[in-house]
Structure 1
Amino acid sequence: MSARLARRVLLLAVALGLSACALPPRAPDAAGQPYWNGRLGLQVDGDKPQSFSAGFELRGAPHAGELSLYSPLGATLAQLRWAPGMAELQADGQRRQYPSIEALTQEATGTALPLPALFAWLDGKPAEVPGWQADLSRIADGRLVARRSEPLPTAELRIVLQQP
């Protein structure tokens, strides 16, 4: 997978995690894990500004989970899976392994993303992450916006959860 594609996929994941619109968690999936779905958008400003949007499904917890990203027509764009000591990115017919979800997001976006905070934000709970600010004021409406001001580049993640 090209570095550019990996960055786009990870930016999507960041957008999901940081600008997530959140309602209380939807009913657990068949395995009993927390589950959210909806649309996310990520914008990263920098030398080469990028923006991305996709449908998503997020299952699991900060220590082990899965994030799937979908095109507007429902095609799978990427799947991220993580567990203690490993992370995996599957996209464009290729699979890449990483020692952690932080390492995966670092390579894909140029910075490690606060996925553990995303789970708290989606639950409507504040979580402190250096450089990030999450607006939880519309979480009851299924909307979340998270912005990163430092380190550069700045980023904005927007999430709109699908209403039950």
Structure 2
Amino acid sequence: MSRNVRILRCAPEDVFEVLGDGWLFPSWVVGASRMREVDASWPRVGSRLHHSFGVWPLLINDATLVEEYDPPRRMVMRARGWPIGEARVTLDIKQRGESTVVRIQEEAVAGPGRFVPAPLLDLGLHWRNEETLHRLAYLAEGRAEAQSRATTAEHEMGSDEASTS
């Protein structure tokens, strides 16, 4: 089982805004190359993302299912990637002061991936999930910064209007 941790400069809610937008999945998940469909109920339990992984012309169409969704604390998904197999991906998110700690844990639960020796599997997953958290941080922190700038601009406009009245 592979585990990675990253500290993000944003609130847990900012992370869940990214997780809640299924169309962003290939933007932060390493290996996901495109989205084909997002269930209307995403990210509720039982909903699916229909995605592809790999590179053209070797694309494999598959899906990821939400097993648990508890914003702003936790999300568990079952990611399919046949013929490799299936993995359970758990994201635990905790506020720490002004920052947020995100832990991703991935384990093979079905298919041939279960039979790969753990140290070998963890080596590849660790690198992949390190980059996945890096990308998730860019999106969540970027959204938080954009919202902060928009809020500041609104306050400044309100102050300007008040001073001219």
Tell me the TM-score range normalised by the shorter chain: 0.3 to 0.5
Choose 1 or 2 for highest CA Rg.
2
Point out which structure has higher relative CO (alpha carbons under 8 A, 6+ apart). 1
* Larger helix percent: 2
User: Under a length normalisation based on structure 2, what TM-score does the superposition of the two structures give?
Assistant: 0.36
User: Under a length normalisation based on structure 1, what TM-score does the superposition of the two structures give?
Assistant: 0.36
